[in-house]
């Protein structure tokens, strides 16, 4: 399924469409202004409203219209960056805190669904990390040792995976994981937030951030919100030009959802150890009101804007799903989205480095954005309420880890290497070569032009130079967008910003 601009439509949208409220049409003041209506922004806004703060939330599109609407919504503290690595980077105490923070986030989601009576199909279940070869089996053993070291004693090695077609090798069983319906949850949070006096303005894009004792944001239409505290939860911080974007890298990730006979696959979360890796969950027949279960298979991640044929990842994913789940029926949904991988593997949640003390960010979610977003809500609420929180240090956006210097260098060399696109030839020499419904790059002197041909055969040209820091965008034939290979900005076929860090559209030619 695709929407009118050619972007994929995730399964969740069938049950709950992304949520519009009203546009901001005047200037307002409040205690806390939150920018971004995904799980991080809305959880923070809700928890602060619950503390009695006057909170205003501003969202450029609709609530859930960002990556939260595109998630697969595993709720897990079996972190995919592996505890063996986290112990190396943050020590046993740091890794233990990370583990407990995600466990606490799952508890928090469960608590909120009960307290606010949100029917978000929340379920507790086991998670299984399975090996596909002997090398991975050794890694599995190391991971078991690591979780034992941080005191997570009820993780066990199982000789057989509950789905025998997945692997003949052992797997680790992680208890007390979860799954839920991300958009039903957001809808419930939105209702609870407004009932507590919170104000929400959608289709309200912030284009300017002014720091100071009182922080002020300016919207596209020129209206302002001034607040004592400002939280920027825009998935990637659009209030930061450089610093944070050197510490994390954007990846595209793909999902196919296939029907499977009811009960054929035990209800659990499954993750493999391949690179790129695969993640699997069910939406059961009961939860989706259908005769069959829905098997949701994700993975095939790659660096944003650095793959000339993104569509091949859907085929690879489907092939893999059919091999591992021979009982799989037809593909009902396919969608893709974006995650940010921090160089030292934990999210960045806290005060914005180099900014006033009352400006906070939440970013670097990796594949654990449901729990990271909830951690953001809890941690930022404590910071704003002036309460100590033991997670402050491990999630501090200003942290520097010498142990991740190699990864930092690798990611930033990769960004520098993208400048080669300035000297490579164009994909076409003339706009007439661009076929309807596609986009192609054309060389024009020393720069490049992004040419999109719409379904009626009309060609639209904009500069291919990303308005963030000047890399050359590339065409994404899965989402019909121009994607930047450097820090993940994305633009629609006509050059309008879809996701930051860029805040300005591609220049129209
Ligand atoms: C395919 C896929 C599968 C995933 N699977 C999982 C999973 O199983 N488990 C898990 O935990 N995580 C998963 N994730 C990650 C998770 O979905 C995300 O990390 C999480 O949803 C991010 O939430 P967020 O609130 O930070 O960002 P978003 O949901 O992207 O919200 C940010 C919002 O900010 C708004 N915004 C941006 N700029 C502005 C501006 N200038 N003014 C106003 N508003 C603005 C955007 O429109 C957007 O709505 C997955 C992600 C993808 C793509
Ligand atoms: S996103 Fe940074 S240069 Fe494009």
Do 274 and 156 sit in the same domain of this protein?
yes
Question: Nearest ligand, CA of residue 250?
Answer: 2
Question: Nearest ligand, CA of residue 486?
Answer: 2
Q: What angle do CA 344, 408, 500 make, to 5 degrees?
A: 85
**Euclidean distance between CA atoms 80 and 272, whole angstroms:** 10
Do 135 and 153 sit in the same domain of this protein?
yes
CA of 185 to the centre of ligand 2 (A): 32
Do 167 and 263 sit in the same domain of this protein?
yes
Q: Is 373 in the pocket of ligand 1 (CB under 6 A)?
A: yes
What is the average pLDDT value for the chain, to the nearest integer?
93
- Residues 469-475 have a mean pLDDT of 93
140 beta partners = none
**Is 459 contained in some domain?**
yes
Do 406 and 434 sit in the same domain of this protein?
no
CA of 318 to the centre of ligand 1 (A): 24
Structure tokens at 125: 């279940």
Do 170 and 132 sit in the same domain of this protein?
yes
- Residues 425-430 have a mean pLDDT of 87
377 falls in which pLDDT band (50, 70, 90)? very high
Do 172 and 255 sit in the same domain of this protein?
yes
Count the alpha carbons within 13 Å of 368 in the hemisphere toward its beta carbon: 27
**Is 6 contained in some domain?**
no
**Is 38 contained in some domain?**
yes
Cis peptide before 501 (omega within 30 of 0): yes
Do 236 and 318 sit in the same domain of this protein?
no
**Is 61 contained in some domain?**
yes
pLDDT value for 38? 97
Q: Is 466 in the pocket of ligand 2 (CB under 6 A)?
A: yes
Q: Which of 450, 473, 484 to mutate to test the pocket of ligand 2 (most atoms within 8 A of CB)?
A: 484
**Is 451 contained in some domain?**
yes
321 falls in which pLDDT band (50, 70, 90)? very high
Q: Which of 17, 43, 66, 255 to mutate to test the pocket of ligand 1 (most atoms within 8 A of CB)?
A: 66
Residue 418 reports pLDDT greater than 80: no
414 falls in which pLDDT band (50, 70, 90)? confident
Q: Is 305 in the pocket of ligand 1 (CB under 6 A)?
A: no
Question: Nearest ligand, CA of residue 304?
Answer: 2
Do 150 and 254 sit in the same domain of this protein?
yes
Alpha-carbon distances, residue 377 vs 44, 234, 372, 394, 433 (angstroms): 4, 13, 9, 15, 49
295 falls in which pLDDT band (50, 70, 90)? very high
pLDDT value for 464? 95
**Is 468 contained in some domain?**
yes
Those residues with Cβ within 8 angstroms of residue 481's Cβ, 6 or more apart along the chain or in another chain:
7, 475, 490, 491, 492, 493, 498
Do 333 and 388 sit in the same domain of this protein?
no
The domain that holds 50 is classified in CATH as 3.50.50.60
Domain closes at, from 388, 410, 432: 410
**Is 112 contained in some domain?**
no
Do 325 and 383 sit in the same domain of this protein?
no
Tokens 């007439």 belong to residue: 432
pLDDT tens column, 75-117: 999 999 899 999 999 999 999 999 999 999 999 999 999 999 9
Those residues with Cβ within 8 angstroms of residue 250's Cβ, 6 or more apart along the chain or in another chain:
236, 303, 304, 338, 339, 340, 341, 487, 488
Which of the pair, 401 or 97, is modelled with greater confidence? 97
Q: What angle do CA 283, 284, 287 make, to 5 degrees?
A: 85
pLDDT value for 167? 94
If DSSP codes are grouped into helix, strand and coil, which group holds residue 471? coil
pLDDT tens column, 24-78: 999 999 999 999 999 999 999 999 999 999 999 999 999 999 999 999 999 999 9
pTM as predicted: 0.96
**Euclidean distance between CA atoms 250 and 233, whole angstroms:** 16
Which of 201-210, 316-325, 374-383, 393-402 has the weakest average pLDDT? 393-402
Question: Based on the structure, what is the number of domains in the chain?
Answer: 3
In 3-state terms the chain splits into helix, strand, coil percentages (rounded to 5) of 30, 30, 40
The range of the structural domain enclosing residue 367 comes to: 11-71+183-246+345-410
19 falls in which pLDDT band (50, 70, 90)? confident
Residue 102 — φ and ψ, nearest 5°? Answer: -70, -35
Do 428 and 490 sit in the same domain of this protein?
yes
- Residues 272-297 have a mean pLDDT of 95
Count CB-CB contacts under 10 A for residue 431. 15
**Euclidean distance between CA atoms 172 and 10, whole angstroms:** 29
Q: Which atom of ligand 1 is nearest to the CA of 503?
A: 41
pLDDT value for 412? 72
Do 47 and 165 sit in the same domain of this protein?
no
The DSSP string of 308-351 is S-TTHHHHHHHHHHHHH-TT---EEEEEEEEEEEETTSS-EEEE
Determine how β-strand 74-75 pairs with β-strand 171-179: antiparallel
CA of 307 to the centre of ligand 2 (A): 16
Domain closes at, from 360, 382, 410: 410
The domain that holds 485 is classified in CATH as 2.102.10.10
Alpha-carbon distances, residue 189 vs 36, 158, 346, 474 (angstroms): 14, 37, 25, 36
Q: Is 200 in the pocket of ligand 1 (CB under 6 A)?
A: no
**Is 64 contained in some domain?**
yes
CA of 66 to the centre of ligand 1 (A): 5
CA of 297 to the centre of ligand 2 (A): 29
pLDDT value for 153? 94
Q: Is 205 in the pocket of ligand 1 (CB under 6 A)?
A: yes
Tell me which residue has its CA closest to atom 33 in ligand 1: 36
Residue 123 reports pLDDT greater than 90: yes
């Amino acid at each position: 399924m695709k929407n009118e601009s050619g972007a994929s439509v995730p399964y969740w949208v069938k049950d709950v469409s992304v949520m519009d409220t009203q546009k901001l049409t005047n200037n307002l003041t409040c205690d806390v202004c939150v920018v971004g209506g995904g799980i991080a922004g809305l959880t923070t806004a809700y928890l602060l409203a619950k503390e009695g703060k006057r909170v205003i939330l501003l969202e450029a599109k609709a609530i859930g219209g960002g990556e939260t609407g595109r998630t697969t919504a595993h709720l897990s503290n079996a972190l995919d960056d592996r505890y063996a690595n986290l112990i190396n980077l943050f020590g046993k105490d740091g890794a233990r805190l990370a583990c407990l923070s995600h466990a606490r986030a799952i508890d928090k989601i469960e608590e909120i669904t009960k307290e606010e009576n949100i029917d978000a199909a929340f379920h507790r279940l086991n998670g299984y990390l399975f090996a596909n070869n002997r090398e991975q089996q050794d890694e599995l053993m190391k991971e078991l040792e690591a979780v034992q070291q941080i005191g997570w004693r009820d993780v066990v090695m199982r000789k057989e995976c509950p789905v025998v077609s997945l692997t003949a090798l052992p797997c680790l069983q992680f208890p007390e994981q979860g799954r839920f319906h991300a958009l039903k949850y957001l809808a419930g949070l939105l209702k609870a937030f407004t009932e507590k006096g919170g104000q929400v303005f959608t289709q309200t894009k912030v284009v300017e951030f002014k720091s100071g004792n009182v922080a002020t944001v300016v919207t596209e239409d020129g209206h302002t919100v001034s607040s004592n505290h400002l939280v920027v939860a825009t998935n990637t911080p659009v209030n930061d030009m450089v610093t944070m974007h050197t510490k994390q890298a954007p990846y595209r990730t793909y999902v196919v959802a296939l029907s499977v006979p009811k009960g054929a696959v035990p209800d659990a979360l499954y993750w493999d150890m391949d690179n790129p890796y695969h993640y699997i969950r069910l939406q059961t027949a009961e939860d989706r009101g259908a005769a069959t279960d829905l098997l949701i298979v994700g993975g095939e991640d790659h660096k944003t804007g650095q793959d000339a044929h993104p569509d091949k990842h859907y085929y690879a994913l489907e092939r893999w799903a059919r091999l591992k789940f021979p009982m799989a029926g037809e593909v009902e949904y396919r969608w893709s989205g974006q995650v940010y991988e921090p160089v030292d593997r934990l999210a960045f949640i806290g005060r914005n480095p180099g900014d006033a003390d009352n400006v906070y960010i939440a970013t670097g979610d990796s594949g654990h954005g449901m729990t990271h977003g909830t951690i953001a809500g809890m941690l930022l609420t404590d910071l704003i309420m002036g309460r100590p929180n033991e997670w402050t240090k491990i999630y501090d956006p200003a942290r520097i880890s010498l142990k991740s210097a190699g990864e930092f260098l690798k990611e930033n060399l990769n960004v520098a290497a993208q400048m080669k696109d300035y000297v490579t030839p164009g994909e076409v020499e003339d706009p007439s070569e661009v076929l309807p419904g596609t986009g192609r790059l054309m060389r024009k002197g020393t720069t490049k032009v992004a040419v999109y041909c719409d379904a009626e055969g009309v060609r639209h040209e904009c500069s291919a130079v990303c308005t963030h820091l000047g890399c050359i965008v590339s065409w994404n034939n899965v989402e019909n967008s121009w994607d930047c290979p450097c820090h993940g900005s994305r633009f629609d076929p006509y050059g309008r910003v879809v996701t930051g860090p860029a805040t300005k559209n591609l220049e129209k030619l």
